């Protein structure tokens, strides 16, 4: 059973958030994310002529694909480069607390970024009859997807001290998980293998949530995905130590 010290954990989360906001990274991420997502959504919204946000949430996996690895690439790689990882892991902080602290800090930052897009939904509600149930479900799905991206990016960052390598590998692996269940991939596979690919695909489960209903299987998949890569992250650091 993993024992987490609440005070140490909260201190680590605050430290990670300070590191974000004491550097230009957080502000660049938020500005690029908000401008890019809004522009891509509204450039087609008026052509479609429907008061819905499916188009907005449909582009998030692709925006996350590049922006989230740019956040996670430094989380462990920078610790390795500066030599501070040894100090962190030989202090009174456990490996589990260190990993969860970094993950939680990133999760909170992602939630803030998504919260800042909420005025888009409010604006649309004045234009037409917006289905808030579908919108809120889609926000929850986007948060789960982003958390999955972060957990995998955090794990890959723990494998190398080179931030560029961590970024490129994270993008490639996330891209593979995203399109794994697409028809263009499964069309050439046997039925059993195609079904397996859909089950393991981040995109398949995300698109399922965008329909406005949270299936227990989708939630369990994302939760399992996040926990798996956080555990792999812990094991990697323990091996290095």
Name the pLDDT band for 181 (thresholds 50, 70, 90): confident
CA-closest candidate to residue 19, choices 29, 4, 31, 5: 29
Residue 221 CB-density burial (10 A; 0-12 exposed, 13-18 middle, 19+ buried): buried
Whole-number percent of the chain with pLDDT over 70:
95
Q: Does 178 or 183 have the greater pLDDT score? A: 178
pLDDT digits (tens, 9 = 90+) for 9-57: 888 899 888 888 888 888 989 999 999 998 888 887 766 666 788 889 9
The average pLDDT across 158-182 equals: 92
Residue carrying the six token digits 């500005």: 31
CA distance 2 to 4: 6
CA distance 208 to 218: 8
CA distance 27 to 38: 16
pTM: 0.92
Amino acid 1: pLDDT = 53
Amino acid 9: pLDDT = 83
Residue pair 53/40 in contact by the 8 Å Cβ criterion: no
Amino acid 117: pLDDT = 94
Enter the tokens of residue 76: 């462990």
Residue carrying the six token digits 């409010």: 122
pLDDT digits (tens, 9 = 90+) for 109-142: 999 999 999 998 898 888 878 888 899 999 999 9
Amino acid 142: pLDDT = 96
CA distance 102 to 9: 9
Amino acid 124: pLDDT = 86
Name the pLDDT band for 2 (thresholds 50, 70, 90): low
Enter the tokens of residue 92: 């009174």
DSSP letters for 136-189: HHHHHHHHHHHHHHHHHHHHHHTT-S-HHHHHHHHHHHHHHHHHTTSHHHHTTS
Name the pLDDT band for 143 (thresholds 50, 70, 90): very high
CA distance 94 to 2: 10
pLDDT digits (tens, 9 = 90+) for 55-99: 899 999 999 999 999 999 988 888 888 777 777 776 777 888 889
pLDDT digits (tens, 9 = 90+) for 193-219: 888 888 899 999 999 999 888 889 999
Residue pair 64/146 in contact by the 8 Å Cβ criterion: yes
Q: Does 107 or 5 have the greater pLDDT score? A: 107
Based on its alpha-carbon atoms, the radius of gyration of the chain, rounded to whole angstroms, reads 19
Amino acid 62: pLDDT = 95
The average pLDDT across 146-164 equals: 94
Amino acid 48: pLDDT = 64
């Amino acid at each position: 059973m993993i024992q987490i010290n609440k005070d140490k954990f909260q201190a680590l989360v605050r430290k990670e958030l300070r590191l974000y906001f004491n550097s230009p990274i957080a502000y660049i991420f938020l500005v690029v994310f908000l401008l890019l997502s809004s522009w891509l959504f509204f450039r087609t919204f008026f052509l479609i002529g429907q008061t819905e946000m499916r188009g907005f949430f449909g582009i998030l996996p692709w925006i996350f694909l590049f922006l989230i690895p740019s956040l996670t690439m430094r989380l462990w790689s920078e610790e390795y480069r500066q030599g501070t990882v040894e100090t962190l892991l030989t202090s009174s902080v456990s490996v589990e607390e260190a990993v969860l602290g970094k993950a939680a800090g990133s999760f909170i930052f992602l939630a803030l970024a998504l919260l800042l897009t909420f005025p888009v939904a409010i604006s649309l509600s004045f234009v037409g009859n917006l289905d808030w149930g579908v919108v809120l479900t889609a926000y929850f799905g986007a948060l789960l997807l982003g958390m999955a991206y972060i957990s995998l990016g955090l794990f890959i960052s723990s494998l190398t001290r080179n931030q560029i390598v961590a970024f490129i590998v994270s993008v490639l692996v996330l891209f593979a998980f995203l399109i794994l269940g697409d028809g263009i991939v499964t069309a050439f596979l046997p039925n059993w293998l195609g079904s397996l690919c859909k089950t393991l695909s981040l995109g398949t489960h995300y698109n399922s949530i965008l329909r406005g209903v949270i299936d227990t299987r989708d939630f369990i998949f994302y939760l399992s995905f996040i926990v798996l890569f956080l555990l792999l992250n812990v094991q990697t650091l323990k091996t290095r130590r």
